[in-house]
Amino acid sequence: MTTTTLRKKLSKRSRTQQHDKGGFPVHLDSAVLKRRARQLLDSEIDFIGNREFSDPSAQDSIMDASSGNGGQLSGKAKLPKDLPGHLARLCESALLTAEEERSLFRRMNYLKFRANAIRSRLDPADPDGAAIDEIEHFLAQANEVRDRIIQANMRLVISIIKKFVTPKHSFDDLLSDGIVSLMQAVDKFDYDKGFRFSTYAYRAIARNAYRSITERQKEEGRFDAAVGDDLASVPEQDRASALDEKEWMTLRSAMLEMMDHLDRRERFILRGRFALGAHRKVRTFQCLADKLGVSKERVRQLEQRAIAKMKAMVESMRGEAHDPVGALI
């Protein structure tokens, strides 16, 4: 479908009625149009420009260009044997040839270019429904192409981050960071530079993985220093309690057992927030954030995560005859 045909179709639909994603008509009033226009105007459309995008004669060749099969691997292709099922499924999309890769990046950026050109003419006070439809249509197509590029390069992410996995840095955490790095690389890659995307993406993913590991190691160092300073500044705590010795030991044993299932930061935060262990007074989120070198909101999130874990452990103990900590959480 040419751009002219698309514009006529969208314009006709806009003059009659608007449809939702399922094809059902919905009421379209001025407030709805203005809200959609404002959402488009508030979000920048990032793309890698190219001189050919301004050439009207290149439009049809870009829009109608073959994008490769983009589907499942053929019967002759083989998936990595050492991957579990859920990871193997991430690698099912066929690899792209150099020509297919260039075609996809060219089309994705051209679609964003067209959307941005129409967006620049939008009047937020009196938006054109057909123009908004056209922008959203181009952006949806661009995202579909972007997804195909990402899917075709998932095995590259996995092959890179496997080299960075250590006992302290799990595969899942690094995979999540690697996928984000891949997405960013897709958005920033200039297909007209003459080299393959895999070369560009490899450097970006590996660099970000190394940076992520380095930052986590620094964070762990700040944590160790904070814990050491805190314990050194507090004298040994007297065990004053209304519980008798046997009840106290039972409670303490259960609490310590559950705390062992938390990570070091979670244990440190709970002890500070609830004055447990060496802490004689409740610590504020800001105090703990300063010691750990993270934001106050991050400390709040870690506390909520730790409490959720403790609650789950208590629930698993409910069936036991004696639950010494059930009433505490």
Where residue 277 sits, what CATH number does that domain have? 1.10.10.10
Is 201 inside any structural domain? yes
Residues 256 and 210 in one domain: no
Number of domains comprising the chain: 2
Is 236 inside any structural domain? no
Domain that includes residue 73, residue range: 3-215
Residues 29 and 175 in one domain: yes
* CATH code of residue 136: 1.20.120
Instruction: Count, in order, helices (H) and strands (E) of the chain.
Output: 13, 2
Instruction: For residue 36, give the nearest of 91, 156, 118, 145 by alpha carbon.
Output: 118
Residues 270 and 203 in one domain: no
- Does residue 200 contact residue 223 with C-beta atoms inside 8 Å? no
Res 307: pLDDT: 81
Q: Which of 215, 231, 255 is the C-terminal boundary of a domain?
A: 215
- Does residue 149 contact residue 82 with C-beta atoms inside 8 Å? no
Provide the residue type at 254 as one letter.
Answer: A
Is 154 inside any structural domain? yes
Residue located via tokens 């930061």: 265
- Does residue 259 contact residue 314 with C-beta atoms inside 8 Å? no
Res 226: pLDDT: 53
List pLDDT tens digits, range 53-90.
988 888 888 877 554 444 444 334 455 566 677 777 77
List pLDDT tens digits, range 146-196.
999 999 999 999 999 988 888 777 888 888 889 999 999 999 999 999 899
- Does residue 69 contact residue 94 with C-beta atoms inside 8 Å? yes
The residue ranges of the chain whose pLDDT is under 70 are 1-28, 65-83, 219-256, 275-280, 317-329
Res 253: pLDDT: 63
Is 32 inside any structural domain? yes
From the number of C-beta atoms within 10 Å of its C-beta (0-12, 13-18, 19+), residue 93 rates as: buried
Q: How many CA atoms lie within 13 A of 297 on its CB side?
A: 0
Q: How far apart are CA 24 and CA 240, in angstroms?
A: 69
Residues 249 and 176 in one domain: no
* Residues contacting 147, CB < 8 A, separation 6+: none
Instruction: For residue 37, give the nearest of 113, 111, 126, 110 by alpha carbon.
Output: 126
Res 262: pLDDT: 82
- Does residue 326 contact residue 310 with C-beta atoms inside 8 Å? no
Is 188 inside any structural domain? yes
Residues 189 and 262 in one domain: no
Residue 327 tokens read as 């009433």
Residue located via tokens 């002759």: 76
Is 233 inside any structural domain? no
Res 25: pLDDT: 38
Residues 69 and 29 in one domain: yes
- Does residue 187 contact residue 103 with C-beta atoms inside 8 Å? no
Residues 77 and 118 in one domain: yes
Res 137: pLDDT: 95
